[in-house]
Amino acid sequence: MMMRTLVCIGVMAVFVCFININAVNGQLSSTFYDKACPSLQSIVKSVVKQAVAKEKRMGASLLRLHFHDCFVNGCDGSILLDDNATFTGEKSAGPNANSARGFELQGPTWTVMLGRRDSPTASLSAANNNIPSPASSLSTLISSFQAHGLSTKDLVALSGAHTIGQSRCAFFRTRFYNETNINAAFSTSVKANCPSAGGDNSLSPLDVVTPTTFDNQYYANLKIQKGLLHSDQQLFNGGSTDSQVTAYSTNQNSFFTDFAAAMVKMGNISPLTGNSGQIRKNCRKSN
């Protein structure tokens, strides 16, 4: 309920502002709402801070929601749509079902480009096919990100979002009961909360050391084989991304800079602007 309320407040704030803006303006801009609705960003920021204060996990959930939206036909809010008679939406897709959802977040900041509009439809099949699985190999991850115009450097930087948040046992059970590139003590502690059968919804932190702090500890964890997901540990497993992981593990400022740049880049994946799409009155339904 909190996630739904948080997202809807942001959407409604944009809708109220947008009625005063010429829809023909088809360019994203960090100042898009400055004249029509100068309080927009402070409104959204206030609501996010309240939600995060109530539940530390919310910061990570919002980052994940943004990622899962952008990788399915662009950053168009399609992940928010409920199923209807016309289409089956993305909420029940494998990567999202019982998982996608909306701390005082200290970390990198970046300028958000504004003026994007909402998709009138959603795609279950695209969500199942376009969002990389936590069981993905390094080559699969690289190919998936490249297909969305993101580089291998972007992949490693954006994966650092796993410095906060949690994951369900169903997403990492196979790794802990079948793979050997895992720290022994870490494996024992995770298995205590994720049995070989059952307990699919049991949660474990993606970063076992500083689970609610946005920092570079995620990369330090990978270097000692404490990656929770198979796809996490693939970034430091004798492959082409090992050196970047090592660099971030010792230079947090470099990670923050690259993460911010990659977030802007990901946020620009096929946005709907101008007369394309719509501004939903209800974030869960097409107008």
Helix (H, G, I), strand (E, B) or coil at 23: coil
* Residue type at position 277: G
By CB neighbour count within 10 A (0-12 exposed, 13-18 middle, 19+ buried), where does 230 fall? Answer: buried
Is 68 labeled as catalytic in the residue annotation?
Answer: yes
**Residues forming beta bridges with residue 285, ordered by sequence position:** 282
Active-site residue, from 66, 68, 148, 230: 68
Structure tokens at 124: 């279950």
Nearest-CA neighbor of 46 among 98, 71, 10, 95?
A: 10
Structure-token match 């309920």, residue found: 1
Helix (H, G, I), strand (E, B) or coil at 29: strand
Contacts of 138 (CB under 8 A, 6+ apart): 234, 235, 237, 239, 240, 241
Neighbours of 208 (CB within 10 A): 17
Helix (H, G, I), strand (E, B) or coil at 204: strand
Contact at 8 Å (CB) between 274 and 25? yes
Q: Which positions are annotated as active-site residues?
A: 68
